[in-house]
């Protein structure tokens, strides 16, 4: 079961000359979905959560099928693991209920001033732990 989902429309700016989504834009679609998810949790500026900041530490993306100009894509995801310093999630991008890309993303918590690894504030840690989807 997914923790979150977000619809994305493919615009001309997302594609190459052949009308196929440029590979790096899948990362942008996933970032938008994660941002909207954290917004639903009450973090109006999701990248900057009070005394901490979330940054992508690792990401792997498997392309299965291309997306095209004007496609409506469904970007979903689930939190799989949370530690004091990071969280791991999976994300899928689908078109018409067919998964066209799959990703595993690890986000690290850093101090916004020093840009060094830091622990999640306890309330955020507990909130994320409660949303783990196995």
Q: How confident is the model at residue 50 (pLDDT cuts 50, 70, 90)?
A: low
State mean pLDDT over 95-104: 97
Q: Which of the residues 14, 16, 70, 71 is marked catalytic?
A: 16
Question: Global pTM?
Answer: 0.90
For every residue of 33-64, DSSP letters joined together read HHHHHHHHTT-SSTTEETTEEEEEEEEEEEE-
Q: How many domains does the chain have?
A: 1
Q: What is the pLDDT of residues 52-71, one digit of tens each?
A: 788 899 999 999 999 999 99
Tell me the residue range of the domain where 93 lies.
4-129
Asked if residue 22 is part of any domain, the answer here is: yes
Q: What's the CATH code of the domain at 50? A: 3.10.129.10
Q: How confident is the model at residue 112 (pLDDT cuts 50, 70, 90)?
A: confident
Q: What's the pLDDT score for residue 47?
A: 53
Does 58 participate in catalysis according to the annotation? no
Q: What's the pLDDT score for residue 54?
A: 87
Q: Are 85 and 109 in contact (CB under 8 A)?
A: yes
Residue 73 has pLDDT above 90, yes or no: yes
Asked if residue 134 is part of any domain, the answer here is: no
Q: What's the pLDDT score for residue 133?
A: 82
Rounded distance, CA 89 to CA 96, Å? 22
């Amino acid at each position: 079961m997914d923790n979150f989902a977000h619809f994305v429309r493919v615009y001309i700016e997302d594609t190459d000359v052949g009308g196929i989504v440029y590979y790096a834009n899948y990362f942008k679609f996933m970032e938008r979905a994660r941002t909207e998810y954290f917004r639903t949790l009450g973090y109006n500026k999701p990248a900057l959560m009070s005394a901490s900041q979330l940054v992508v530490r690792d990401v792997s993306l498997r392309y299965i099928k291309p997306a095209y100009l004007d496609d409506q894509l469904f970007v979903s995801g689930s939190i799989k693991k949370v530690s004091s310093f990071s969280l791991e999630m999976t994300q899928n991008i689908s078109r018409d209920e067919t998964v066209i890309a799959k990703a595993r993303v690890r986000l690290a918590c850093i101090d916004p001033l020093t840009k060094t690894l830091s622990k999640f504030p306890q309330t955020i840690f507990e909130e994320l732990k409660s949303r783990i989807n196995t």
